[in-house]
Structure 1
Amino acid sequence: MKIIAAADGSALGNPGPAGWGWYVDEQHWASGGWPHGTNNMGELMAVLDLLQQTAHLDATLHILCDSQYVINSVTKWMPGWKRNGWKKKDGKPVLNVDLMKAIDEAIAGRPVTFEWVKGHAGHHLNEKADALANAAATAYQAGRATNPGPGFAAPVTGAAPEVPAATAIMPAASATAPVVPPAAAPAPADADLFSLFDDLDSPATAPAAPAAPRPTGAEPRLITEPAASAIDTVIAGERALLTADVRSDPTRVAALLHTQFREIGRSGRLFTRDEILAHIAPLDPPVTLEVISAEQIDANTILLLWRSVGETPALRSSTWVRTTTGWAQRFHQATAEA
């Protein structure tokens, strides 16, 4: 079996709100993005997610890209970078090294070929992937979630998915489903999310008012500057969850929390993602983060231990996982410090 797919990326402002997408046919496509990223990051992430989602298939994968940077990185430059400790000939670190390493791991031993296609030239699959990437970037710019798409949840059967008959390009609106849940019941008095309610006489009972529009540079970053390490990215995300501008907007908090996020507060109570998003608000007094340790357990998991400063002392642990849209906090636990 042969799978032919197009992969593309987009960044509004480059860097700015960024998206990625890959497309095979109407039953097999995916998209995602970040509040802040570059076009090259989007191009690479599209290829990485395509490789990861087709890993279980016994198939040859032919990837169409309009990015010479991606094709040359994977097919020409990567072996030399690896031999040189992921540094270029001039000794400078390879940009987007985390994505490069993940692609190198995902492609090992697989029959994968690349083909350059000219962008915005009417190629059906490329136009579809471009539309998905642009829709994802636009969604993050507007503070909405992307539609992850069906992906390759089940093996493809039948004939190889060659270029399908032309259909209308998916509109941006298809990738803009809201992520904030409807208003929930009042939060219990012992709620936490970094000590949000532990020391208050009465709990918050409604979501905070939407924040005023902010410049792009103020957006929380799931992936920070292109050369940042995965650990740097996670620490930046953890810090963002403590800032007043992020906590004033549940959509921005949602972008940093995994869809299955859970938290155990200092009181020992378990909280769900929906409970947190319904009652998130700025911390009073403000809380800052003091890193104790950060360990990358595997390519897709980071454990962060830290101390919250500016409140009743507490030790905290956060587990972050790599998803198709970047790094997201999967679990958080707080313990009162002796």
Structure 2
Amino acid sequence: MRHLQNRGVAMKNAGPIAALALLVAAAYALQTRAQETQRTTRPSDQEEQQTAGTMRPVIRGKHAAVSSMKPEATRAAENILRAGGNAFDAAIAGQAVLALVDPAANGIGSDAEILIYDAKTRQPYSINAEAPAPKLATIEWYNKNNGGKIPTNDGLLSGSIPGTVDAWYILLDRWGTMSFEKVLEQAIEIAENGFPLPANLARNLASSKLAKYPTSKKVYQSKRYTEGQLFKNPDLARTLRKLVEAEKQNTSKGRHAALKAARDRFYKGDIAQTMAKFSEQNGGLFRYEDFANYTAKVETPVSTDYRGYRVYKNKSNTQGPAELILLNILEGYDLKAMGHNSAEYI
């Protein structure tokens, strides 16, 4: 499952704003109080007309903004900001909650592509935590064991090494201010105590796909869930608590070492060993070495100039470069002459 993708950041005389963009199921545009710019924009008449008489007006704020696909995740990120955390702390807290409340599109077993702007260095960065295939997943293996076909279903043979937790570690260690204990606190609490199921998730939990896997069935189909029922995920809570435990056990060594210990428990400790054992016992290609050797990268994002703005995108396993090409093509058209949101414009 994919949960974090790329969104571009355009800057023109950029002020001291720290922004983090996470797209697809998790999207955040977050701003700390200390980094706030006092710039406000008068809404257009068209904007006012579109929201007048609705229950979902344009949201504006003075100090920060949080947006995600689920209210529980938005609230978790906002709580971190109110507690003194910055945008990066808040993004992790929100995404950890999304792994619980939006499991069809999010999870700690996924990859991550994150585009950020560092207000201190005034530089954009791209975190490439994409998920590579396990070492045993070769063309030769698939020719011999799978009829020459590379699977595209949701089974173990089409899985890849998760990068999310390493992305969390990089964000916290290099740009964050809080601990794993603090940013995962709300996700753990919700996983242990439960949350009311929305209708669409209740329907998804009844999926026949989940029934094919005993461990997934145990977590998501232990009973027949209906809209409004409390859903708990103690297994996820236990995994997140293991990260916190590793961090606490190494606090005397300093913040960096403590964060690294939490990260390493996922990729080099008992969590990785459990995942590798399950894979081997169930016909998967994951092995412990795949997890132990995994490392996310911090890269320089690709960019282009668009009508005086410098637009940045992730370059790795994303559509970022293609979107920049589209902007270059679009620059050849006089959009203003077409009229905003006219048929020709759209």
TM-score (structure 1 length as normaliser)? 0.24
Structure with greater helix share of residues:
2
TM-score (structure 2 length as normaliser)? 0.24
Structure with greater strand share of residues:
1
